[in-house]
C-alpha cells in the first residue's frame, strides 16, 4: 500500500512540475517578438467589418517597418480615404471585392510582388467555427471551412518556414456594427415575403419571429471594445512563437467554447442549443 501511495505522490508531483514548467515557458514566450525591419504584412479589412479592419490597419501602420495592404470594397470610398489620409507610405490601399475573381487575382498579384520569403499567415475565423448553433448553418459552413483551411496550411507551410495562426473571435457585433435591430427587422420583413406559402404555414410566423428576435438579442450583446481582437491579431503577427489559435472572447463565449471542446457533447447541447 505504501508503495502505491508513493507512486501516486511522485506522479502528482511530476505532473505539477511539468504543468508549471509548461505554463512558465508559454508565459515567457509571449514576450518574445519578431524584429520588424522592412517586414511586409498584408492586412485585409474584410473579415470582421469595416470598424475592426480600419482600426487594425491604423494600428499596424504605427509599427515601424511594417508594410500594410488594406483591401477595401471601394478603394475610393470614405473608409479608404481615411486610411490614405494617414499619409504613411507603407500603407497601401487596394481595390478588393472578394466576390470578384478579377479583383482577388489582382490583389494577390500586387501583394505577392512585395512579399519577402518565408513570412506568416493569419486568418480570421470565428468562435462559431468551433461549435454549431441553431439557425447559423450558412455562417458555420464558412467558418468551419476557414478553420480547416488554416489547420491544413499550418501543416503544409511548415517546411517553407511559413507559420500560420488563426483568430477565433467571440461576439463582436457591437464593435463592428454589421447588424442593427433595424437592419435585421428590415431584412426579415423582406425575407418573409419571399418564403413560399406552404413553408410559411409549416414554420409559422411565430417561429420565424422568434428566430429574428434571437438574432436581434445577439446583435445587441457582446462587447463593443475592439482592443482584444486587435491585440490578438498583433500578437499573431509579431510574436516570435505564435499560437496556432487566438481566442479574443468575452467570458460567456470562453466558457461555451471550453464546454464544447472538453465536455461530452450532450452537455453542450443541453445548455447551448
Residue 175 C-alpha cell reads as 464593435
Of 9, 139, 203, 252, which is the active-site residue? 139
Concerning whether 139 is annotated as a catalytic residue, the answer is yes
Nearest to 176 by CA among 92, 55, 43, 70: 55
Catalytic residues: 139
Amino acid at each position: 500500500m505504501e508503495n502505491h501511495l508513493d507512486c501516486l505522490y511522485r506522479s502528482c508531483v511530476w505532473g505539477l512540475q511539468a504543468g508549471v514548467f509548461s505554463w512558465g515557458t508559454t508565459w515567457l514566450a509571449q514576450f518574445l517578438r519578431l524584429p520588424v525591419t522592412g517586414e511586409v504584412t498584408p492586412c485585409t479589412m474584410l473579415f470582421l467589418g469595416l470598424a475592426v479592419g480600419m482600426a487594425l490597419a491604423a494600428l499596424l501602420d504605427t509599427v515601424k517597418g511594417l508594410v500594410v495592404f488594406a483591401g477595401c470594397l471601394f478603394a475610393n470610398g470614405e473608409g479608404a480615404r481615411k486610411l490614405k489620409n494617414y499619409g504613411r507610405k507603407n500603407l497601401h490601399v487596394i481595390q478588393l471585392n472578394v466576390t470578384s475573381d478579377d479583383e482577388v487575382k489582382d490583389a494577390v498579384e500586387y501583394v505577392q510582388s512585395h512579399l519577402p520569403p518565408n513570412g506568416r499567415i493569419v486568418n480570421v475565423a470565428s468562435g462559431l467555427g468551433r461549435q454549431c448553433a441553431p439557425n447559423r448553418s450558412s455562417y458555420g459552413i464558412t467558418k468551419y471551412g476557414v478553420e480547416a483551411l488554416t489547420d491544413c496550411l499550418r501543416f503544409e507551410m511548415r517546411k517553407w518556414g511559413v507559420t500560420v495562426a488563426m483568430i477565433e473571435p467571440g461576439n463582436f457585433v457591437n464593435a463592428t456594427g454589421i447588424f442593427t435591430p433595424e437592419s435585421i427587422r428590415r431584412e426579415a420583413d423582406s425575407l418573409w415575403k419571399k418564403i413560399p406559402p406552404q413553408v410559411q404555414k409549416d414554420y409559422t410566423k411565430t417561429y420565424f419571429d422568434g428566430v429574428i428576435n434571437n438574432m436581434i438579442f445577439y446583435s445587441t450583446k457582446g462587447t463593443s471594445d475592439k482592443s482584444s481582437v486587435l491585440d490578438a491579431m498583433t500578437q499573431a503577427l509579431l510574436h516570435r512563437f505564435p499560437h496556432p489559435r487566438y481566442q479574443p472572447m468575452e467570458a460567456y463565449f470562453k466558457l461555451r467554447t471550453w464546454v464544447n471542446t472538453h465536455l461530452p457533447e450532450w452537455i453542450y447541447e443541453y445548455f447551448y442549443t
